[in-house]
Amino acid sequence: MAKSLDGKVVIVTGAGRGIGREIALLAAAEGAKVVVNDPGGAADGAGNDAAPAEQVVEEIRKRGGTAVANFETVAEAIPASKIVKQAVDTYGKLDGVVNNAGILRDAIFHRMSVDAFESVIKVHLMGSFYVSHAAARLFKEQDSGAFVHFTSTSGLIGNFGQANYAAAKLGIVGLSKSIALDMSRFHVRSNCISPFAWSRLIGTIPTETPEEKARVERMQRMTADKIAPLSVYLLGDAAKDVTGQIFAVRMNEIFLMGQSRPIRSVHRGEGWTPQTIAEHGMPALKGSFYKLDRSADIFSWDPV
């Protein structure tokens, strides 16, 4: 059977562990030459360790695949560009980028430090931009390429204590859509995946109440390997007509997520005043307001 990524070169950031590792392994199994990027930091981004990326490369090679390790951070423009440079220097080209690298530094909003906010934005949002931007000219010149970015229901829907993460992840949605719009003329595609999977980062979620414990137990059943097939599909030629979309993956479920569109309107011929908005406009719209839902409120059933 033909392999979906035969002859392609792909970068997977944050590929030393968790979801990134599973994507790198499957991409290699599907014929891609893989740049396995991971500086090996802790869940909050501290420190570095070459072992995670090297171990994934070793595993790929043992299975007969082709891969090289990269230890640069995505959180700064020049190191991020070196990931793309290594792909081209090593394998002569680049066909796909998976922006998976991430850290967590959760805190309730009024207690969140500026550093905690900025560091998460830098890795997730700026990192996705830096790596994508470094690859964009290559993709334009070769008239092809695919980006797969990782978003989260923390941004798409909401969660407690994750203002930094949610802002970054919703920013990535805007980044992906803009890339899709700007680069479709060059046959470059850009999509987002919102994963439900147990990982080292999810392991930082508190388990102090029975509800929190039940939530974490449910998430532990959602393994990282379930995210890899859609990620690899989106990198391949079979997905040539799929761009600008947001998907969620939860165990064996794949969801196409909505994007912001008008849902209700009010009109007043003479225009509005603060008083008429209070008396007429807002009461008319209120029935369509979104509740302060969290991800767990919307995805309330067990994964299948």
Give residue 208's pLDDT: 76
Give residue 207's pLDDT: 67
Q: Tell whether 295 is covered by a domain.
A: no
Catalytic, 91? Answer: no
Give residue 226's pLDDT: 95
Q: Tell whether 20 is covered by a domain.
A: yes
Q: Tell whether 261 is covered by a domain.
A: no
Out of 130, 165, 233, 290, which one is annotated catalytic? 165
Q: Tell whether 108 is covered by a domain.
A: yes
Number of structural domains the chain divides into: 1
Q: State the pTM of this model.
A: 0.92
Structure tokens at 145: 């390429």
Q: Tell whether 72 is covered by a domain.
A: yes
Q: Tell whether 202 is covered by a domain.
A: yes
Give residue 172's pLDDT: 98
Give residue 134's pLDDT: 98
List average pLDDT for each run of 10 residues in the chain, which is 304 residues long: 94 97 98 97 81 97 98 98 98 98 96 98 98 98 98 96 97 98 98 84 65 71 92 98 98 96 97 98 97 92 85
Check which CATH number belongs to the domain holding 38 and give it.
3.40.50.720
Give residue 4's pLDDT: 97
Domain that holds residue 169: 9-256
Q: Tell whether 285 is covered by a domain.
A: no
Give residue 205's pLDDT: 61
Q: Tell whether 268 is covered by a domain.
A: no
